[in-house]
Amino acid sequence: MKKLILLLGCFILFLSFNLSLFSQEKFFKNPKNTFLISTDLHIHTVFSDGFVWPNLRVDEALREGLDLISITDHLEYQPHKGDILNPDKNRSFEIAKKFAQGKELNVVLGAEITRSMPPGHLNAVFITDANLLLHKDSISGIIEANKQNAFVFMNHPNWWPGRPSGIARLEPIHEELIKKKFIHGIEVVNVGLSIEALEIAIENNLTILGTSDVHGIATWEFEQYGGHRPITFVLSEGNDLTSIKNGLFEGKTMVWYKDLIIGKQENLLPVIDSNLEFSQPTYIENTKIALVNLSNLSSIPLVLNYNGKFTLHEDDKIFIIPPRGSKEIKIKTIELLKKINMNFEIFNAIIGKDQYLRFSKTLNFE
């Protein structure tokens, strides 16, 4: 009997664990008429310098609640070729794509063009044949990727082997490729954040991206980086591949890294508007102190700096609303009002160097 109970308990634990893999709560509430598509567009397997089979990349993505991944194994760098022959550079994608069939995950074909700086490493995703990108010179590979209507972006532009200073910057060849619209985006997060890469993205109207560049087991690699891999959210009109690809080309992205969200102001504002809710303000009886409850619907804490014209009662102007949590604030309005403007700066919503998202809401009293 004890053995039966033990086996039953193990079965229930196993079942609950496996259900949890495929029942992740969405990270953010979608803005109105928009899909937030969670992606990782820089992933490796044993078919280049990674340490896992492509199937595991699919399982990891499903467990973590991702909507889309791209297997982007190196074209030129093949350190496992003595053990794993890889004549077909599409093979890792084909294995992952087949394993993902019938599951709630899109897998798109990608590849990493791997050269020394400049131009350095670049990813091409939404390609049709990775083998055709393998050329003696990297520029021909970039041109071929564009012939395949690929989305091409610069990888880890602050990576110390190519940038010993750790500072991302463009070379003349990058500027030329951007001018010709052969490069469409840049990683501002690849394990770590590069503010200089964010500045490059904004100045050159490049799509802002954050990726894992994962080689080992994702959970192990990212426990130290906020407990999750860096994720790029595409603000897409639909959840089909064409809409997602269009969103990337249009620069409609937001990066989630640790407890930070990073992106262009026009992309972060609708996300905050959908994920930060305000109650109708009321006054404490016989006072001029207004009560407002703020609810955070997202998976990240929100670090708010109240910069309205009044002061708060019992709180500093800087406070944190926990993930899926709420916070009541008391505002000393001096006189009884019919409406109040709630003005905030969100210190973990980065839109540029030393720039944080500003958010306002006008609330009417009863």
Residue 215 pLDDT > 50, yes or no? yes
Residues 45 and 88 in one domain: yes
DSSP assignment of 153-190 equals: EE--TT-TTT-TT------HHHHHHHHTT---EEEEEE
Residues 241 and 100 in one domain: yes
DSSP assignment of 105-158 equals: -EEEEEEEEE-STTT-EEEEES-S-GGGG--SSHHHHHHHHHHTT-EEEE--TT
Query: Of 243, 263, 283, which one is at a domain's C-terminal end?
Result: 263
Give me the pLDDT at residue 25, please. Answer: 55
Cβ neighbours around 12 below 10 Å, total: 10
Residue 361 pLDDT > 90, yes or no? yes
CB 362 within 8 A of CB 342: yes
User: Using one digit for the tens of pLDDT, what is the confidence trace for 245-279?
Assistant: 999 999 999 999 999 999 999 999 999 999 999 99
Strand, helix or coil for residue 74:
strand
The pTM of the whole model exceeds 0.85: yes
Residues 155 and 54 in one domain: yes
Q: Per the domain annotation, does 3 fall within a domain?
A: no
HSE-up of residue 168 (Cα within 13 Å, Cβ side): 24
Residues 80 and 154 in one domain: yes
Peptide bond into 119 cis (omega under 30): yes
Q: Average pLDDT, whole number, for the chain?
A: 91
HSE-up of residue 74 (Cα within 13 Å, Cβ side): 19
Which of 337, 327, 338 has the alpha carbon at shortest distance from 292? Answer: 327
Residue 20 pLDDT > 70, yes or no? no
Query: Of 220, 241, 263, which one is at a domain's C-terminal end?
Result: 263
Helical spans, DSSP H, in the chain = 2-21, 54-63, 91-100, 138-147, 172-179, 195-203, 218-222, 241-249, 265-275
Place of tokens 């039953």: 8
With both helix axes pointing from N to C terminus, report the angle between 172-179 and 138-147 in degrees, rounded to the nearest 10.
20
Average pLDDT over residues 349-355: 97
Which CATH number goes with the domain that contains 324?
2.60.40.10
Average pLDDT over residues 99-126: 94
Domain count, the chain: 2
Place of tokens 């014209």: 309
Q: Per the domain annotation, does 12 fall within a domain?
A: no
Structure tokens at 276: 């930060």
Residues 194 and 316 in one domain: no
Give me the pLDDT at residue 233, please. Answer: 98
Q: Per the domain annotation, does 14 fall within a domain?
A: no
Lowest mean pLDDT among 1-10, 154-163, 353-362: 1-10
Which structural domain range is residue 102 located in? 27-263
Which CATH number goes with the domain that contains 88?
3.20.20.140
Residues 177 and 225 in one domain: yes
Residues 174 and 216 in one domain: yes
Which of 261, 233, 219, 293 has the alpha carbon at shortest distance from 66? Answer: 233
Cβ neighbours around 39 below 10 Å, total: 25
Cβ neighbours of residue 338 closer than 8 Å, sequence gap 6 or more: 364, 365
Q: Per the domain annotation, does 19 fall within a domain?
A: no
Residue 13 pLDDT > 60, yes or no? no
Residues 242 and 301 in one domain: no
Specify the length of the chain in residues.
366
Q: Per the domain annotation, does 39 fall within a domain?
A: yes
**Alpha carbon 322 to its chain's center:** 20
Interatomic CA distance for residues 265 and 349, integer angstroms: 9
Q: Per the domain annotation, does 62 fall within a domain?
A: yes
Interatomic CA distance for residues 208 and 202, integer angstroms: 8
Give me the pLDDT at residue 165, please. Answer: 86
Residues 88 and 146 in one domain: yes
Burial class (CB in 10 A: 0-12, 13-18, 19+), 40: buried
Q: Per the domain annotation, does 4 fall within a domain?
A: no
User: Using one digit for the tens of pLDDT, what is the confidence trace for 148-204?
Assistant: 999 999 999 988 777 888 899 999 999 999 999 999 999 999 979 999 999 999 999
User: Using one digit for the tens of pLDDT, what is the confidence trace for 53-96?
Assistant: 999 999 999 999 999 999 999 998 888 888 888 899 999 999 99
Give me the pLDDT at residue 227, please. Answer: 82
Residues 181 and 209 in one domain: yes
Beta bridge partners of 236: 35
Q: Per the domain annotation, does 94 fall within a domain?
A: yes
Query: Of 263, 290, 310, which one is at a domain's C-terminal end?
Result: 263
Residues 151 and 225 in one domain: yes
User: Using one digit for the tens of pLDDT, what is the confidence trace for 275-332?
Assistant: 999 999 999 999 999 999 999 999 999 999 999 999 999 999 999 999 999 999 999 9
Instruction: Please report which confidence band the pLDDT of residue 340 belongs to, taking 50, 70 and 90 as the band edges.
Output: very high
Please report, as a single letter, which amino acid is at residue 72. Answer: T
Residues 194 and 324 in one domain: no
